[in-house]
Amino acid sequence: MKFLRKKVDKIKPHFEEGGRFYFLHSVFDGFETFLFVPDHVTKKGAHIRDAIDMKRTMIIVVGALMPALLFGIYNTGLQHFIATGQAQEFWPIISYGLIKVLPLIVVSYGVGLGIEFAFAQVRRHEINEGFLVTGMLIPLIVPADIPLWMLALATAFAVIIGKEVFGGTGMNILNPALTARAFLFFAYPSWMSGDKIWVSGMMNGEGIVDGYSGATLLAQSATGASEFVNGLGEKVSHLDMLIGTIPGSVGETSVIAILIGALILLVAGIGSWRIMFSTLAGGIVMGLLLNTFAVNAAMEVAWFEQLMIGGFAFGMVFMATDPVTGAQTNKGKYIYGFLIGFLAILIRVLNPAYPEGMMLAILLMNVFAPLIDHLVVQQNIKKRLKRSVSSAKS
């Protein structure tokens, strides 16, 4: 450790003001603080500070995404092997999944961090850790076969338009990862919807078993199928939905993997339990309402199945809980979460053109979160005002 520190101290002057590589000082700083927690001490206010910082917060979220990612790698391979009718052996499945998924991660991080570094440099601030999470979320919410240049474009769009134009991490209005997905959804709909994109290898169509259908359960529900079937026409059990061996975006199919992530976030106190809980409640309420007044097959999909298919669970745990774009007050979080769950199922069922209601519901509520907070705070303000008027009278 001493050795490493000495090395860093030795090259540090080159990156400081007047040094040869001053133009790279933010990048250097980023790497230095990655290696070492800085030796900065408190100068004002409280002399001791909590040991937590943004890096640790973000890295725990990335850690919570790992189960979903690992399962996503497996499932990408598995779906491909089912579709092509090959023997389902573990290691070939994993290696196929890795070949498909790793490039997505590399592109997402490469493009996003590159832009982050550039902005940090120009604006002369430290590099924000926010993208560590965004960069992991983006590959998990796209189909495995998405062309890498599209992903790069979407990531750039999300970071620049979704975040940096507002002032960087902490200032953005919309969740950047969902901004990337929305960009892809509207710019390249043929790569983000339909029956072929969700199973790796179907777009180029080679070696696919005859009669195999890659429709997701969500798509099946929207088209009014009476029961969920897999690509070969066999019935999909609830256990399959929980485990996640169904077609879909890379990281969003496995409810169990997502719940492990949720547990990590809740134990660490980083994901808001208020938002997760109320999103779930909103989804259940809408699901039950639709079931009660069901007039078509889409509305008849059982409320608990609604929670297991599509991006509902993933959005609930990892997207809705984004503290920057969500409601900030505790009361507001309940309202915000509830409306996300409620609207997600509503959009999904009543507007089959946009089966992925979760994404739209969260983006919509991102926009309304400040309004919700405003209303909550207004209550507090009114109370204070009333108190002040009544004390002036007495």
Is 66 one of the binding residues for other proteins (CB under 8 A)?
Answer: no
* 128, 116 contact by CB (below 8 A): yes
Q: Which amino acid is at 105?
A: I
- Residue (of 163, 119, 137) closest to 64 by Cα position: 137
Q: What is the 3-state secondary structure (H, E, C) of 303-331?
A: HHHHHHCCCHHHHHHHHCCCCCCCCCCHH
Shortest Å, Cβ 170 to other proteins: 3
Please choose, out of 55-63, 116-124, 191-199, 235-243, the segment that lies near other proteins by the rule CB under 8 A. 55-63
Of 6, 17, 20, 42, which lies in the binding site for other proteins, with binding defined by CB under 8 A? Answer: 42
373-392 residues near other proteins, rule: CB under 8 A: 373, 377, 380-381, 383-385, 387-388, 391-392
Shortest Å, Cβ 394 to other proteins: 11
Helix (H) or strand (E) holding 347: helix 330-350
* Token pair recorded at residue 27: 């990048």
Distance CA 38, CA 23 (A): 21
Write each residue from 254 to 293 as x if it is in contact with other proteins (CB under 8 A), else as -, in one continuous string. -------------xxxx-x---------------------
* 278, 334 contact by CB (below 8 A): yes
Is 35 one of the binding residues for other proteins (CB under 8 A)?
Answer: yes
Of 67, 72, 130, 311, which lies in the binding site for other proteins, with binding defined by CB under 8 A? Answer: 130
- Residue (of 142, 310, 140, 117) closest to 220 by Cα position: 310
Residue count of the chain, please give it.
394
164-223 residues near other proteins, rule: CB under 8 A: 167-171
Of 57, 84, 121, 291, which lies in the binding site for other proteins, with binding defined by CB under 8 A? Answer: 57
Distances (CA, A) of 60 to 3, 54, 63, 65, 262: 28, 10, 5, 9, 11
Write each residue from 5 to 24 as x if it is in contact with other proteins (CB under 8 A), else as -, in one continuous string. x-------------------
Helix (H) or strand (E) holding 101: helix 90-123
Other beta carbons less than 10 A from residue 258's beta carbon? 27
Shortest Å, Cβ 10 to other proteins: 14
Is 234 one of the binding residues for other proteins (CB under 8 A)?
Answer: no
Binding region for other proteins (CB under 8 A) = 1, 4-5, 33, 35-42, 44-57, 59-60, 126, 128-130, 167-171, 267-270, 272, 323-324, 326, 328-330, 333, 373, 377, 380-381, 383-385, 387-388, 391-392
